[in-house]
Structure 1
Amino acid sequence: MGTQTRWLGARATAIRVGSDWNCYESTTTTRTRRSFSLCCRWSPLTTLASSMPYEKELAAAKKAATLAARLCQKVQKALLQSDVHSKSDKSPVTVADYGSQVLVSLILERELPSELFSLVAEEDSGDLRKESGQDTLKCITELVNNTLANEGSHSFSTLTTDDVLKAIDNGKSEGGPVGRHWVLDPIDGTKGFVRGDQYAIALALLHEGKVVLGVLACPNLPLATIGRNQQNSSSNEVGCVFFAKVGDGTYMQALDGSTQTRVNVSAVDNPEEASFFESYEAAHSSHDLSSTIAEKLGVKAPPVRIDSQAKYGALSRGDGAIYLRFPHKGYREKIWDHAAGCIVVSEAGGIVSDAAGNPLDFSKGKFLDVDTGIIVTNQNLMPSLLRAVKESLNEKASSL
């Protein structure tokens, strides 16, 4: 590479990493359950899951998400504001966002060659096919090739820009109730990613409309507990992968692949001892409504605000007991923002539902039809949480 400069977009700004100008860093206890969770509740699929345990698919998903996380880590370390441009919905999109989607698409296709491949993903190649996106496309292509080379994979020849565009557009599936569909958010929490905070690579598999496995790679989440009075852990170890498959529980391991540990949601039954998570960005969820609900419920601790589905991961290991998400009117939840997190929490013993207590339905395409918001907690707290939510929503409606 020498000191050759790679350009990102029209502003032609380079990132310096180490001693090289480049667009990336160049580096050579079983619990008895009475039933399945709400997001994966019993159906004829339960019997199917016992005969098709999804081991091969889970291994492929972990490999894909972990490799994508490594790519994202490199870019985040070298991130300049000029790396980010806007989509039509004004959410930031980064080189890493596209690169992550390319890697997941390629790895899943390679590891599962005999399966009909369907991927429902957040990004498409529209902006990259424009003249203004050509420099960014070249940077993504080089970044992906470098990441694959560092992995030591000989299964891929050097990718062209056309290969990259095709891999991105593999994510155009609409999903639905029939067959298998992978669901991906290549960087969930892009604003957190840009700030240097929490984000996640969120990957799930739907089978006949049900979530049957999920992986959350959270590169910046500490291995130690976060939560009330512990948002800044004394531990320097960061980077977690949470994974779950239907009927088999939820596990966590370090991003470097160390020994996995089974995790469980908090068993707290006293709201005064509970802490709750909510979105970092007020634009993503009503902090005022969450505060009202927490007060009615009797929660004493202030909210823990972090980006992305890392909240689901933290909740699954008992860091907090409640997650509240109430988007502003008119917003439609996408399946890739919750599919992986849903099964990670539910297989850890938690419950995920909409504000009326209905299970999330991932069988209707890219969007979730939810009543007002999404709430997550353990079985002990859910009845009282639903009452507090109902009372708060009624008060809000009567005040309008």
Structure 2
Amino acid sequence: MIPAMDLHLLRPSPGSSAVQLFPRYPSPAPHRSRLFIVRSNLPFPNEKAKYYRELAAAVEVVESACRLCVDVQRSLFSNEGQIVEKKDLTPVTVADFGVQALVSLELSKLFPSIPLVAEEDSGFLQSNNLVDPVVSAVSDKRSIDEESLSRDDVLEAIDRGGRNAFATGTKPATYWILDPIDGTRGFVKGSPALYVVGLSLVVEGDIVLGVMGCPNWVVDPSYKSTTDAQGYKNSSPGYGIIMIAHVGCGTWTKRLKSMLDFSTKISSDWTRCFVDGCCLVSDARFCIPESQTWESLPLSVLYKARIDDDNIGDNEIRLLSAFCGSLCKYIMVASGRASVFFLRARSEKVIRVWDHAVGMICVHEAGGKVTDWKGSELDLAADQIERRSIYPAGGILVTNGKIHNQILEMISSISTVV
């Protein structure tokens, strides 16, 4: 068995639930010779992982949620692959609420004492007559064969993770955090753009595990480059990956169970993930949100961006295509396919720190680092007042850890000059 990456978890200071995860030793670059393959339900034995049972359950429920998303997404398109109703986002709504209901139902049976923090409340469904489609989407995805779901069952499950369902007390709580669909633009666009189902567990203020399912991620065994892996030009690789992380046990990926073609047999092997070995900002591969431009970021003063281009000149950086969804950028960094993910805070749009929890642990366990633009750790406690209404200073910076301080210094110096 490969020894788990030695990761030290610093406990938060009194009165704070800030997540502070730092790799005790830097992880080397993800050379092909270092891809460790494990054949098992999880890539490490249960005695190595305190939350093994919770992680195993999270993997199963995220895989089921991804299958639900794929089934619902098909209703967006005609046989020719065209969007049936471009202005009708009902399938997105059904998938969002369906995932939340499914995850809530499954986890409440296994871990009834652990609350769920999620996105949606059932009121919207009821006022828009969308309860029945959600019930239908959820019914055949449950792992336990029981009596048919009622409308009340689904509404109650959704509200279990709703806006007013969870409140923290004076002590750090234990709770699940669910982002039903991160990247609805990608969901609507279809397979050329990515979306992610994200689920994490917080215990006493620390993120202890995370699972991200990306149903339309193209798995490229050759691992040549991000462009090759995400270009959707090679038909032989399989669709879909799941990425997991457990504190002290590293970050791992495998292909999702075959959702698009049940006759296709796919490997269930887990592969260990590491951030890349880039040590110079000028050599780094950057990714940013689709809704933001390179020119809106401080480093644009120093570097021009060339999109998906290996021929980088002086004072230029390589900017990878956006592919929608913030969480997929964490997958990019944690898997070593990108070096940096930049997210700028904007007054008109709230950055929900809880939504980034699953990405944070996956990057940290792969050897990377996540902070705001001033270098402070993202604080989950700040999201516990009026539900996820925090603007990290400047924005969020996700890197391989090796160039993190360099970028922070650049941001600081540029801000001082400006």
TM-score (norm: length of structure 2): 0.76
* Match of residue 196 from structure 2: 200
* Match of residue 252 from structure 1: 253
- Summarize deviations over 1:57-78 as a string: whole Å, max 9, x none: 1011111111000000111122
1:64 equivalent among 61, 64, 67: 61
* Match of residue 41 from structure 1: 21
What is the identity percentage for the equivalent residue pairs of Structure 1 and Structure 2?
Answer: 33
**2:207 is aligned with 1:211:** yes
1:376 equivalent among 382, 385, 398: 398
2:324 equivalent among 304, 307, 327: 307
Structure 2 CA distance for partners of 1:253 and 1:294, relative to 1, 3 Å: farther
Superposed, 1:46-195 pairs within 5 Å as 53-79=50-76, 80-81=84-85, 83-84=88-89, 93-113=92-112, 116-130=113-127, 133-134=128-129, 136-148=130-142, 153-154=144-145, 156-172=146-162, 173-174=165-166, 176=168, 178-195=172-189
Shift of 1:174: 3.8
Q: Say if 2:333 and 2:340, in contact at 8 Å, map to a contact too.
A: yes
Which letter does structure 1 place at the counterpart of 2:274?
N
Which letter does structure 2 place at the counterpart of 1:99?
G
Secondary structure of the corresponding residue to residue 216 of structure 2: strand
Q: Say if 1:39 and 1:346, in contact at 8 Å, map to a contact too.
A: no
2:290 equivalent among 259, 280, 290: 280
- Summarize deviations over 1:248-299 as a string: whole Å, max 9, x none: 11010111171111111111112232111111223xx775216516718955
Moved over 6 A (4+): 49-52
* Match of residue 311 from structure 2: none
Structure 2 CA distance for partners of 1:358 and 1:129, relative to 1, 3 Å: same
Within 2, Cα distance between the matches of 1:236 and 1:230?
9
Shift of 1:383: 1.4
- Summarize deviations over 1:276-325 as a string: whole Å, max 9, x none: 1111223xx77521651671895521343122201111211100100000
* Match of residue 268 from structure 1: 278
Shift of 1:379: 2.3
**2:216 is aligned with 1:220:** yes
Which letter does structure 1 place at the counterpart of 2:210?
G
Within 1, Cα distance between the matches of 2:227 and 2:237?
18
Within 1, Cα distance between the matches of 2:152 and 2:98?
14
Structure 2 CA distance for partners of 1:379 and 1:299, relative to 1, 3 Å: farther
Which letter does structure 1 place at the counterpart of 2:126?
R
Q: Say if 1:40 and 1:246, in contact at 8 Å, map to a contact too.
A: no
Within 2, Cα distance between the matches of 1:278 and 1:374?
11
Q: Say if 2:176 and 2:201, in contact at 8 Å, map to a contact too.
A: yes
Q: Say if 1:277 and 1:306, in contact at 8 Å, map to a contact too.
A: no
Task: Report the more deviating stretch, 350-359 or 301-310.
Answer: 301-310
TM-score (norm: length of structure 1): 0.79
Shift of 1:209: 1.6
Within 1, Cα distance between the matches of 2:207 and 2:95?
26
**2:331 is aligned with 1:321:** no
Q: Say if 1:183 and 1:335, in contact at 8 Å, map to a contact too.
A: no
Within 1, Cα distance between the matches of 2:370 and 2:50?
22
Structure 2 CA distance for partners of 1:83 and 1:67, relative to 1, 3 Å: farther
1:295 equivalent among 268, 279, 303: 303
Task: Report the more deviating stretch, 206-215 or 92-101.
Answer: 92-101
Structure 2 CA distance for partners of 1:187 and 1:51, relative to 1, 3 Å: same
**Unmatched 5+ stretches in structure 2:** 11-17, 23-45, 77-83, 258-266, 305-313
Structure 2 CA distance for partners of 1:34 and 1:263, relative to 1, 3 Å: closer
* Match of residue 243 from structure 1: 244
Structure 2 CA distance for partners of 1:307 and 1:110, relative to 1, 3 Å: same
Structure 2 CA distance for partners of 1:159 and 1:232, relative to 1, 3 Å: same
* Match of residue 393 from structure 1: 415
Shift of 1:329: 2.4
Secondary structure of the corresponding residue to residue 250 of structure 1: strand
Q: Say if 1:286 and 1:328, in contact at 8 Å, map to a contact too.
A: no
Q: Say if 2:8 and 2:248, in contact at 8 Å, map to a contact too.
A: no
Secondary structure of the corresponding residue to residue 300 of structure 1: strand
**2:376 is aligned with 1:358:** yes
Q: Say if 2:341 and 2:399, in contact at 8 Å, map to a contact too.
A: yes
Within 2, Cα distance between the matches of 1:264 and 1:72?
28
Structure 2 CA distance for partners of 1:294 and 1:317, relative to 1, 3 Å: farther
- Summarize deviations over 1:85-137 as a string: whole Å, max 9, x none: 5xxxxxx9521111111111111112224xx131110111111122xx22x21
Q: Say if 1:228 and 1:302, in contact at 8 Å, map to a contact too.
A: no
Within 1, Cα distance between the matches of 2:300 and 2:228?
21
